[in-house]
Amino acid sequence: AQSVTQLDSHVSVSEGTPVLLRCNYSSSYSPSLFWYVQHPNKGLQLLLKYTSAATLVKGINGFEAEFKKSETSFHLTKPSAHMSDAAEYFCVETGGSQGNLIFGKGTKLSVKP
Amino acid sequence: GAVVSQHPSRVICKSGTSVKIECRSLDFQATTMFWYRQFPKQSLMLMATSNEGSKATYEQGVEKDKFLINHASLTLSTLTVTSAHPEDSSFYICSASDRGPADTQYFGPGTRLTVL
């Protein structure tokens, strides 16, 4: 069965330092991959998506992710964290016959002043 | 960009009553909508896939008679929690796909259900 693994349940960084949120997928074929962000008690917002075009994907709010097939990874990065980046981040893959999403367990990002 | 709304955003009800949650795609037609449930501090769990004009496809372990899903038009899907109990209290989120099942999904803001 397909699965998405987010390697860290919680990441804490200082404001202005780089952010790295790790994600590994399991599909053997070229998947569609997404990163979503969820602020407390809010719905999800799409940060970026990979659909087999460029391997380096740029998203909103300065985030980007690189698709590495050899490592089955799709890590999310940002050069400089802002306080407003504190949220839960989900790495997601499309799967199933109807294209439903397979979610990682999420990574909570804390940003210290 | 594509916008999905949910109504209500928050509902509190008594045990044994039924609650209906609406999910609307505001600026696009959604042939497929998905309903997710999120328990506190956990990831989202897909409950069912809703295709316009046909019966919903439920995930294993989700009671179709308890969670009634209707997708009567290309812009509206509803989830009705029947005879709600406290264990049904959760955050329910819908998403809509604008060009087919495997395309980008846009999420609603979620509905917080509390059953007393």
CB–CB contact A99 B104 (8 Å): no
Categorize the per-residue pLDDT at B25 as very low, low, confident or very high, splitting at 50, 70 and 90: very high
Name the more confident of B39 and B69. B69
Categorize the per-residue pLDDT at A77 as very low, low, confident or very high, splitting at 50, 70 and 90: very high
Average pLDDT over residues B88-92: 93
Tell me the one-letter amino acid at A41.
N
Question: Residue B104 has what pLDDT?
Answer: 74
Task: Yes or no: say if A52 and A33 are a contact pair by the CB < 8 Å rule.
Answer: no
- Averaged pLDDT of chain B: 88
Q: Is A37 exposed, middle or buried (0-12, 13-18, 19+ CB in 10 A)?
A: buried
Average pLDDT over residues B23-27: 92
Task: Yes or no: say if B93 and B22 are a contact pair by the CB < 8 Å rule.
Answer: no
Smallest CA–CA distance, residue A39 to chain B, in Å, is: 10
Place of tokens 């949650």: B21
Residue B9 scores a pLDDT above 70: yes
The three-state secondary structure class of A97 is coil
CB–CB contact B6 A43 (8 Å): yes
- Candidates B32, B106, B109; nearest CB to A46: B106
Residue A19 CB partners (closer than 8 Å, separation 6+): A11, A13, A63, A76, A77, A78, A81, A85, A109
CB–CB contact B43 A90 (8 Å): yes
Question: Residue B87 has what pLDDT?
Answer: 94
CB–CB contact A99 B109 (8 Å): no
Question: Residue B101 has what pLDDT?
Answer: 45
Question: Residue A99 has what pLDDT?
Answer: 61
CA angle A37, A42, A44 (to 5 degrees): 35
